[in-house]
Every structure is written in structure tokens, then in C-alpha cells.
Structure 1
């Protein structure tokens, strides 16, 4: 049996009227709504223009900076180490050592704070609230600020960079650890408790086996991030590859800058690849 489409013989005006009757919001947008939409876009454009003006982001400034940028990139080719390969590679090794040391210090500091910050382990709401606010306060201070403070206290060198990375990462890792602990399945812990297990046994055999792969994966991710941050800290005096990079930019040795950047990018890619494989193995087995 053939079904006849009831809309075939309707005129264009009738079809529009039917469509408005069925879905008025999809077919007809009120003029007030259209004006509101246009007004929002106009206000957004004006706000963007004011922000650009406040930060001197004008076409003239952009054109001038673009010319300097082209000259900078032109001086980077061909890349040349100028006989400083050993020194640059040693600086890369120092940067990696700084990242590893800072990450390990952060892990040791974050584990107890993560346990205290997990509401499944610390039942008192006030204690949990205070610990979480402690995380928030110190997470707001970036590693660069810590480095500037510690360089004043301890002088130039990698020690200030290591401690700066640790101070910046402890609250961040503690928050991640606490959330990982809270998301654990409580059944293994309840089973050990029902069997008469003590608190230490519950943590050792009920919590650690489940949360350890997640915590290890998070720690590896922080290590990747710290290798990048350590290079930035070197620019402000913490040593490593950042110091070598800043020194060559200051003397306009752009070909050596290119060589350092290429070597650094290769190291970052290798670290990311290895870390990704390890994290995948920890999570998925």
C-alpha cells in the first residue's frame, strides 16, 4: 500500500506555517533574540579590542616584532654547536637530573599528604577541608616563583631548581593521589577489615595494590612536565639547559640556540615516548 505524503500539495507559505507550528524555535527566531546574539558578539569584539590595546597588541607592533622574529629564525640556520656538544649534552643531563630529583622529592612529600587528603581515610570534614585548602594555596604558586625565592636564599645553581620543582609538585601530586585513593574500590579493604586486619594491613594489602599503578602513572606524567619546567628554571639561574639557552640568546648565537632546541626537543620526545609506554603498561597491564 502506497502512503501519500500530505505535504506534497501544500504551497511554500503553507509549508513554512506548518514548520513554525511544529518547531517554532527552529524555524523562527524572535527579533529580540537575534539582537541579543548580535549584541553579545559586538561586546565580545569590543572587549577583545580593548584587551589588545591594553597589552600593546597593535598591527604596528606585530609587524615590527614579526620582522625581528624572521631575522631570529634566519640566524638559526644552519644549526651549529660550535664545538660545545659535550657542554650542551651535560647541561641536558643536569636538567634531567634536576627533574628526576624534584619529582622524587615531590612524591615523598605528596604521599602522606595524599593519604591525609583522601576523605575515605580521613573522616573528619574539618580536617579534610583544611588539607584541601592547603593544596589549593600552594598549588597557586608556580615553580618559577619558588625558584626566584629559593635562588635568593640558596644562590644560583640546580639545588634551588630541584626544591622549587618539589614545592610546586607536592600539592599537585597530593591532590591527584587523594583523588586516586578516593576512587579505589573499598571491597578489598572491607574484606581485610572483616577478617580482623589492622590499619597497616588494610593499607598495605587492600589499598596499595589498587592505587599504586595510578599513582605511578601520575608521577611519570609529572616527571615529563618537570623536564620542561626545569629548562625554564635554568633561565632564571637554576642551571642546566635553560642557562645555556639564555646565555646564547644573550650573545645572539642563534645557530647554537637552534642546536640546543633540536637536542632538547629530541630528549623531550624520547622521554614522552618511554613514559607513555610505561604508563600504558602500569594502567592496562
Structure 2
């Protein structure tokens, strides 16, 4: 027999020996088909409820084109220095908020890690507390703190700190749980206490990962600080919402361009720093 004949004979023999393996998985296909149909039906229902209209979308695209033309060329309108100061304030909000959240989340993360605190009650309580904090969006935190401490960048920094505290606490605890336990076991075997195991066995191994996560959050919070400024929490967002309302679109374009350039620079620098922290070449 030739090669193809041998392969066909082997497949036929396998079919006789293991018939169940060659049967079509009709049940799995049915479940997948029903799930896909359910998603399509849910999407259709959502489009109806949200009054989705292709005609409105096309008309909106035309209107968007008109706005884009009105934004050219970007210009500062004699307020370039004020815009730069507002951008610096936005970066300060993002930096202080991220740093505060990281400092608060660092010790709490060890309480939420199973390999540090095996008590299930403590672990469950801390994890659920972090879930509650991070379930509230940064914009809502901004509105809360504006009513507590008043308008301005202080409220913005507090909003970012609260929103990131829950998220960083969860990520930090998961990073601690994935650390190789052998260095800590070595510290304990040499007579070290539990605090020594954490200090010399866990923290050095997890710090690069935590630093990388903090850098990423700072990059993301630069955009978040712009958004919360729209509701009065300081920064360049206050100028942005004011200029949009009065249709000073060229100045809006200038602000957007400033934000894009700043985020691009932060992204490039933080990306290199993250690579350096995890052991790669920074430059």
C-alpha cells in the first residue's frame, strides 16, 4: 500500500478502537451556538434600547468632520503659559495620586496575599474591601472629594489615590502570591522570623513587578487627571471643558495636542523604566 492508503487504514483502525473520540461533539457545538445566538440577541436588544441609528451615526460623522476642520490650525490664543501651568498641575495630580495609592496599597497587599496571611477571614475581608474601593470610578471619587475638600487639584489627587488604592492593592497582592517561595523558605530555615521572610524573601523578588505596575498606573492617571479636571478637580481639564462650551475649537485642538505629546513622552520613558525594572535593557 502507498503512503495515503496506509494513513487511511490507520485512521480507520483508530476509528474502530476509539469510536467516541471521532464522534462529533454535538453538545459542545450546540452550547457554543446558543451562546453566540444569545450574544447577538443581547447586542440587538442593547442597540434598540440605546436608540442606535446608522443614519444618525453617518450624520454625526459629517458633523465630526466639520468640527475637525474648525479645529485647524491649533492655536494657544495667547494663553500658552497658562495652558502649560495647567498641564504641569495635571501631571502633579497624577504623580501625587499614584504615589499615595502605591504607598497605601503596598502594606495592605501583604494582608491580602494568601502566602503571607493564611487566615482566611483576614484575607477575605481585605480583598473585599479593596474590591469595594476599586469598584467606584475615579470620576465619582472626584465628585465626592470636591464636595468634601472643595474644588481644585487636591480633590483630584485624592480621587486618583482612592481609585488606584483598590486596583493597586489587588494587583500587588496577586504579584506577592505568585512569588517563588524558596528564598523565603531559605530565610526561615536559617532562623529568620516571619518578618525576615517577608523582608528578605518576598519583597526583593516582587519589587520590580510592583514598580512596573506603578509606572503603568502613572501613565494612565495622566489621562485620568485630565478627565477629572472637567468636573472641577484641577488641571488642564478645566480649560478643556470651558473652551469646548464656548466652541473655541482651535484652542481645544492645542490642548489636545499638548496632552497627546505629554502622554507619548511619559509612555516612552515609563516603558523603558519598566523594562529596566524587570531586568531588561532600558535604552
State if a TM-score over 0.5 links the two structures: yes
1:61–1:4 Cα change, 3 Å: closer
Choose the corresponding residue for 1:83, options 60, 69, 78: 78
Tell me the SS of whatever aligns to 1:284.
coil
Aligned position for 1:122: 117
Residue 281 of structure 1 deviates from its aligned partner by 0.5
CA RMSD of aligned residues (A): 2.5
* Number of residue-to-residue matches in the alignment: 265
Distance (Å, rounded) in 1 between the aligned partners of 2:192 and 2:42 = 62
Choose the corresponding residue for 1:144, options 139, 148, 170: 139
Larger Rg: 1
Length-normalised TM-score, structure 2: 0.85
Choose the corresponding residue for 1:248, options 228, 243, 249: 243
Tell me the SS of whatever aligns to 1:222.
helix
Distance (Å, rounded) in 1 between the aligned partners of 2:174 and 2:39 = 37
Alignment of 1:188-267 (within 5 A): 188-267=183-262
Residue 25 of structure 1 deviates from its aligned partner by 4.2
Length-normalised TM-score, structure 1: 0.85
Structure 1 runs not aligned, ≥5 long: 8-20
Residue 90 of structure 1 deviates from its aligned partner by 1.0
The answer to whether structure 1 residue 177 and structure 2 residue 176 are counterparts is no
The answer to whether structure 1 residue 49 and structure 2 residue 48 are counterparts is no
Aligned position for 2:11: none
Aligned position for 2:10: none
Distance (Å, rounded) in 2 between the aligned partners of 1:174 and 1:40 = 34
Distance (Å, rounded) in 2 between the aligned partners of 1:219 and 1:193 = 30
Distance (Å, rounded) in 1 between the aligned partners of 2:52 and 2:139 = 25
Structure 2 runs not aligned, ≥5 long: 7-18
1:122–1:46 Cα change, 3 Å: closer
Distance (Å, rounded) in 2 between the aligned partners of 1:24 and 1:180 = 43
Distance (Å, rounded) in 2 between the aligned partners of 1:140 and 1:170 = 11
Distance (Å, rounded) in 2 between the aligned partners of 1:57 and 1:195 = 67
Distance (Å, rounded) in 2 between the aligned partners of 1:213 and 1:99 = 21
The answer to whether structure 1 residue 93 and structure 2 residue 88 are counterparts is yes
Distance (Å, rounded) in 2 between the aligned partners of 1:120 and 1:244 = 48
Aligned position for 2:15: none
Residue 24 of structure 1 deviates from its aligned partner by 6.9
Distance (Å, rounded) in 2 between the aligned partners of 1:184 and 1:64 = 54
Alignment of 1:259-278 (within 5 A): 259-278=254-273
Tell me the SS of whatever aligns to 1:209.
helix
Aligned position for 2:13: none
1:251–1:179 Cα change, 3 Å: same
Tell me the SS of whatever aligns to 1:120.
coil
1:46–1:77 Cα change, 3 Å: same
Q: How big is each residue's C-alpha offset from its partner over 1:2-49, in whole Å with a ceiling of 9 and x where there is no partner? A: 838659xxxxxxxxxxxxx996749xx9xxx79x95x87666555433
